Chain A
């Protein structure tokens, strides 16, 4: 059963590379890959509205380091039981694996904002598609000039990165949480997040892909944010998001990677 999965993944990567190279040939801020393939692949037969009322995406137009591009998605309204963003999917059109991450939110998230660091392999659009609780899809997009982020050399201190793999840290603004309000929190996960694309043509060895696939954040057992991630997430995944505690309790992160490793960390939250 494992072999077909791997080979279909390789096929996807090859298809992605072909699409990316086609896109490169086209001039300017091309959206062919999205319009002809990706939209239908990820959101078959669904209407997607490009509006300004739901979310905003911030990314540098010219990336300084293609393997470490800061990306911020900001929602335009707070999460309430009546009106909230259920999911945000991030697609990077011309990456070898366009699906980059998917974030499930709940009313307990407080605010459906997310900031992370990503790899960009080509000049490409990055798009965030939000699904609101009424089932509608809303999109925001940005164009980023970068190249080679997925095949870029693995962080040079790979040994240090491997030694602390699975370590996690929560960071808050200040010592105390404000009850009933969205509180910003940062989750740092130490993981080399190897893309599998750093192919070694000299010794013919391939650095096998090894990356975080799932991050579940919960507060007192209730989901705050559930994330599916792929190789576009930079080494040492870093997630900034919100949670809205209604009492003192424990914020917990559970992480899985593609090799089946699991890590968890928790942090006491006091008002």
Chain B
């Protein structure tokens, strides 16, 4: 009897904690309507840590007449719930889609909050594999660096994998979802809202936060060439302001990546080592970017290892 009661109390307590906690975050999740029915929450230029719980990316949603599409679910399970709660405050239209722009934790850890009958998860056709390969590593990192536990269930893979393009009808507006070849990662998706001509690029576009190469430097630069031709009015970057002018917004990132490419190629040609390249290349770009010291050398290492094979 005592056992039962204490069990019951634990549940009540847990529920209470969850509710009070949910409310606290829901109030913190600010949203901006950047175009009719297009809402974006702005992330912060910080490394993921226990304080920000990895909630650092731009996330949001688009409201149609019959359906809402969430674009990136947040950097923690909490942020996923907070986003869901905010959506409920804005609209009673059902959430039909959760689109993940790529596998990185700050874009997918809120997925589970949205899992329900009638909600379809949309992602690059390589997203399932990327989630599967990264899950053990990511779970350990979440535990040690973000301060929460993740179960395999938090990695909700897409049930609508996108290989080329996919059109999502939200009622009165159509989202064109495009799967890209390896660029920022090997599973990048972009979303174009035809009604407001808003292009949502996820981490194909970094502004302010130094770009992070986790796929292919060459691939990313050739995607930028193609992206530039999209006739959008405005763009939502994965990290940076909630909205920016298109295609001007590409300039900073493109300059950074091009300079990496040019200088790493020159270093390889000159017979320099990866250590020399990491220490010497692009240091003058430090004032242009936040988190430069956290990612720049790593970008060089990743790109160097790619470019030393590019002639083959």
Interface size on A, residues (CB 8 A): 36
Q: Does B261 contact A (CB under 8 A)?
A: no
Give the residues in chain B near A57, CB-CB below 8 Å: none
- Stretch of B84-92, B134-142, B192-200, B237-245 that contacts chain A: B134-142
| Interfacial residues, chain A to chain B (CB-CB below 8 A) | 64-65, 68, 70, 72, 115, 117, 147-148, 151-157, 164, 167, 169, 171, 173, 188, 190, 198-203, 205, 207, 234-236, 238, 240
Contact B185 A148 (CB under 8 A): no
For A117, A201, A235, the residue with the greatest tally of chain B CB atoms inside 10 Å of its CB is: A201
Q: B137's closest neighbor in chain A, by CB?
A: A151
- Chain B residues bordering chain A, tally (CB within 8 A): 37
Residue ID in chain B nearest A158 by CB atoms: B186
Q: Is A115 within 8 A of B273, CB to CB?
A: yes
Contact of B133 among A117, A148, A153, A157 (CB under 8 A): A153
A188 contacts across to B, CB distance below 8 A:
308-309
* Bound Cα distance from A198 to B137, whole angstroms: 8
Do the beta carbons of B214 and A64 come within 8 Å of each other?
no
Q: Apart from A153-B137, A203-B132, what 15 extra A-B contacts exist at CB < 8 Å?
A: A65-B301, A65-B302, A68-B301, A70-B278, A164-B309, A164-B312, A169-B312, A171-B271, A198-B137, A200-B136, A202-B131, A202-B132, A202-B135, A202-B152, A236-B305
The CB with the most chain B CB atoms within 10 A, among A72, A151, A152, A234, is that of A151
B109 to chain A, nearest CB (A): 15
B25 interface residue per 8 A CB criterion: no
* Beta-carbon contacts under 8 Å, B105-135 to A: 128, 130-135
CB distance from A147 to the nearest CB of B (A): 8
Contact B140 A153 (CB under 8 A): no
In the complex, the answer to whether B278 meets A64 with C-beta atoms within 8 Å is yes
Q: Check if A207 sits within 8 Å of B133, measured CB to CB.
A: yes
- Min CB distance A207 to B, Å, is 7
Q: Which of B133, B144, B155, B312 contacts A167 (CB 8 A)?
A: B312
List 5 interface pairs A-B (beta carbons < 8 Å), by A numbering.
Answer: A70-B273, A70-B275, A156-B185, A201-B132, A238-B274
On whether the beta carbons of B309 and A190 are closer than 8 Å, the reply is yes
* Partner pick for B214 among A156, A169, A173, A207, CB 8 A cutoff: A156
Q: Is there a chain A Cβ closer than 8 Å to B45's Cβ?
A: no
B155 touches A202 (CB 8 A): yes
Q: Is A236 touching B309 in the complex (CB atoms < 8 A)?
A: yes
CB distance from A137 to the nearest CB of B (A): 27
Task: Evaluate contact between B157 and A202: CB separation under 8 angstroms.
Answer: yes
Residues on A with beta carbons closer than 8 Å to the beta carbon of B186:
156-157
Asked whether any CB of chain A lies closer than 8 Å to the CB of B216, the reply is yes
**Contact residue among B132, B137, B308 (Cβ-Cβ distance under 8 Å from A152):** B137
Closest to A151 in B: B137
The yes or no answer to B297 lying at the interface (CB within 8 A) is yes
Does the CB pair A153–B130 fall under 8 Å? yes
Output the nearest chain B residue to A58 by Cβ-Cβ distance: B275
Contacts of A156 in B (CB 8 A): 130, 182, 185-186, 214-216
Cβ-neighbour of A201 out of B136, B274, B309 (below 8 A):
B136
**Separation of A235 and B139 alpha carbons in the complex (Å):** 23
Encoded as 1 (CB less than 8 Å from any A CB) or 0, chain B from 146 to 158 comes to: 0000001001010
- B42 nearest CB across to chain A (Å): 27
* Chain B residues, CB < 8 A from A198: 133, 136-137
Q: Can you list, as one digit per residue, whether each of B64-98 has a CB less than 8 Å from chain A (1) or not (0)?
A: 00000000000000000000000000000000000
Residues of A within 8 A of B298 (CB): 64-65
B33 CB–A CB distance under 8 Å: no
A68 to B214, CA, bound (A): 13
The smallest beta-carbon distance between B76 and chain A, in angstroms, is 19
Closest to A169 in B: B312
Chain A residues with CB under 8 Å of B312's CB are 164, 167, 169, 190
Minimum-distance CB pairs A-B, first 7? A64-B298, A156-B186, A200-B132, A202-B132, A64-B297, A201-B152, A70-B275
Instruction: Specify the chain A residue showing the minimal Cβ separation from B140.
Output: A148
Chain B residues with Cβ below 8 Å from A173 are: 271
CB distance from B5 to the nearest CB of A (A): 36
Cβ of B164 within 8 Å of any chain A Cβ, yes or no, is no
Q: Are A72 and B275 in contact (CB under 8 A)?
A: yes
- A201 near B278 with CB under 8 A, answer no
A152 to B137 alpha-carbon distance, docked (Å): 6
| Smallest Cβ-Cβ distance to A150: which chain B residue | B137
Which residues B264-312 have CB closer than 8 A to chain A? 271, 273-275, 278, 297-298, 301-302, 305-306, 308-309, 312
- Which of B128, B131, B141, B216 makes the CB contact (< 8 A) with A157? B216
Tell me, in angstroms, the Cα distance from A203 to B135 when the chains sit together: 11
User: Contacts A152-B137, A154-B133 given: A68-B302 contact, CB under 8 Å?
Assistant: yes
Q: How far is the CA of A156 from the CA of B274 in the complex (A)?
A: 19
Select from chain B the residue with minimum beta-carbon distance to A117.
Answer: B274
In the bound complex, how far is the Cα of B309 from the Cα of A65, in angstroms?
19
Instruction: Name the residue of chain A whose CB is nearest to the CB of B276.
Output: A70
CA of A148 to CA of B144 in the docked complex: distance in angstroms?
Answer: 11
Task: Give Cα A64 to B278, complex, Å.
Answer: 10
**How far, in angstroms, from A173 to B269 measured CA to CA in the complex?**
10
Task: Give the Cβ gap from A114 to chain B, nearest Cβ, in Å.
Answer: 13
What residues of chain B lie closer than 8 Å to A201, measured between beta carbons? Answer: 132, 135-136, 139, 152
Within 8 A of A (CB), among B144-186: 144, 152, 155, 157, 182, 185-186
